[in-house]
A and B are shown apart, each in its own frame.
Chain A
Amino acid sequence: MCFIMYLIFILFCLKDWVAVASNPSPYFAAFGWLVSCCSMGWWGFWLGHGGPFLSLVLFLIYLGGMLVVFAYSAALAAEPYPEAWGSWPVVVHMVVYMVGVVLAFVVFGGVWYESSWVSVDELGEFSVFRGDAGGVALMYSSGGWMLIISGWVLLLTLFVVLELTRGLSRGALRAV
């Protein structure tokens, strides 16, 4: 199981990172990110290691957040002639990154491998309740104010992003 998870991690995550990092138009980059999070990325990885609740939360939050990002970049950075993953410069970037990742794996890969991980389930015998569910419950019961503040911060972030990007010609952080 661990090995399969390891492969999933390597393949999906690295592929998606390369998809984002290969410098396509923002539209495609955000899309790549969305795909990377919603496909068998981190959450699937976590699920495989025995943390279904956290992986579900992670999936929902990431899906929501990434959809927002995708919507924003689609709305604000739509270009008439986008650089998709098929374009030459992007392909060149992808190839270079892939080669870089493979090289890095060959050089450093021996140090960091799957058997150094501990799955959540393994510690199940030592505790009364499941680690992930218990942690979330603890956070709700003793850190409720923190969650309220976090919700407020999300609103604040929304305002900040809007302020930074609003207006066709007056937005602060616009590429085009």
Chain B
Amino acid sequence: MNPYVLITLLFGLGLGTTITFTSSHWLLAWMGLEINTLAIIPLMTQHHHPRAVEATTKYFLTQATAAAMLLFASTTNAWLTGQWEIQQMTHPFPTTMIILALALKVGLAPMHSWLPEVLQGLSLTTGLILSTWQKLAPFALLLQIQPADPFILITLGLTSTLVGGWGGLNQTQLRKILAYSSIAHLGWMMLILQFSPTITLLTLITYLLMTTSTFLVFKLNKATNIATLAISWTKTPALTSLTPLILLSLGGLPPLTGFMPKWLILQELTKQDLSTLATLTALTALLSLFFYLRLSYAMALTLSPNNATGTTPWRLSSTQSNLPLALSTTTSILLLPLAPAAMALFTP
């Protein structure tokens, strides 16, 4: 791709998200979402591969559907209440519709099927953009909506954590596993959204950090399935021994960063007298933990037998910059003691 075109497209990505961030008017927010979608499409088909084209088509169709639903819902809202403001959603019907549209946009459980398929068709860099940057704009909108019915968000959230856990169990493709992991994490964010948007934001940011380091690790190892992970120790031994910690942090085990959002979410849920829901959600995290554990096993905790050619990749040095990986890995492992600071940072 021509660098000028690439820059234009990346600028478009940034512009779309920024417009959605700064808008208070539904039409402008919708425009931002559409610019975003438009700008990432050529990035997705950078490598003209049938899978990439298929993924792009699927992505385009789902995002267009979601955006059309959003536009329809916001127009209906304007029709019913005469109000275009994002924070003034009072009528339950457009509110529900907008929540569903945004859920389709980020890939929450009943509307999640496109996400693993799309992510599987992309290169790891574009996949990283798709599962981090592209989540920001819809979440900026979700954070501003007060749903009329508390059950819709809880249903979306619980279904997502369950589907995310179950779906990833029998996958061997890393990008699909990461997609299911994304679904499960988004489910946690949905659960807490109506009680404490601050915690949702915190969860989103920690998830972005952890998933960024996972994507970068996989990119450094050029790994797209579990079998390739098994020889990653020949390329980057130190990183290979750290990766289980990143993965278990995604799974939410205590001394790691991933435990912080889960802890705060469970605390908030028990404060709302939703202990049963809290227990259920906590237990669904075990489903996801199983596939993170499987990745850790394949990558670092077992040593698969290899022939001589299998252990030669250490000769090839990578050109990838290590600084982002180092930063995101450190934060995605060691942030738990800073939980009060992180909370203070996100409290408005």
Contact of B42 among A149, A150, A164 (CB under 8 A): A164
B296 on the A face (CB < 8 A):
no
A173 contact set on B, CB distance < 8 A: 45, 53, 57
The residue that A159 contacts in the complex, of B15, B19, B42, with Cβ under 8 A, is B42
A170–B1 CA distance with the chains assembled, in angstroms: 12
A172 and B48 in contact (CB under 8 A), knowing A164-B41, A164-B42?
A: yes
State the Cβ distance, B56 to closest chain A Cβ, in Å: 7
Contact B8 A170 (CB under 8 A): no
Q: Mark B5-43, 1 if CB is under 8 A from A, else 0.
A: 100110010010001000000001001001100110110
A101 near B: Cβ within 8 Å?
no
Contact pick for A160, options B31, B41, B53, CB 8 Å: B41
Give the interface size class of chain B: 20 to 34
**Contact bitstring A131-164, B, C-beta under 8 A = 1, else 0:** 0000000000000001001101101110110111
What secondary structure prevails in chain B residues at the interface with A? helix
Chain B residues within 8 Å of A149, by CB: 15, 19, 31, 35
- Asked, given contacts A153-B35, A160-B39, A163-B42, whether A171 binds B48 with beta carbons under 8 Å apart, the answer is yes
A167 to chain B: closest residue by CB: B48
Residues 34-85 of A contacting B (Cβ, < 8 Å): none
Q: Contact at A163–B1, with CB atoms within 8 Å?
A: yes
- Does the CB pair B1–A157 fall under 8 Å? no
Does any Cβ of A come within 8 Å of B52's Cβ?
A: yes
A interface residues (Cβ-Cβ under 8 A, vs B): 146, 149-150, 152-153, 155-157, 159-160, 162-164, 167, 170-173
Q: Write 17 A-B pairs (CB below 8 A) sorted by A numbering.
A: A149-B31, A153-B31, A153-B34, A156-B8, A156-B35, A159-B5, A159-B8, A160-B9, A163-B5, A163-B42, A163-B45, A164-B45, A167-B48, A171-B48, A172-B45, A172-B52, A173-B57
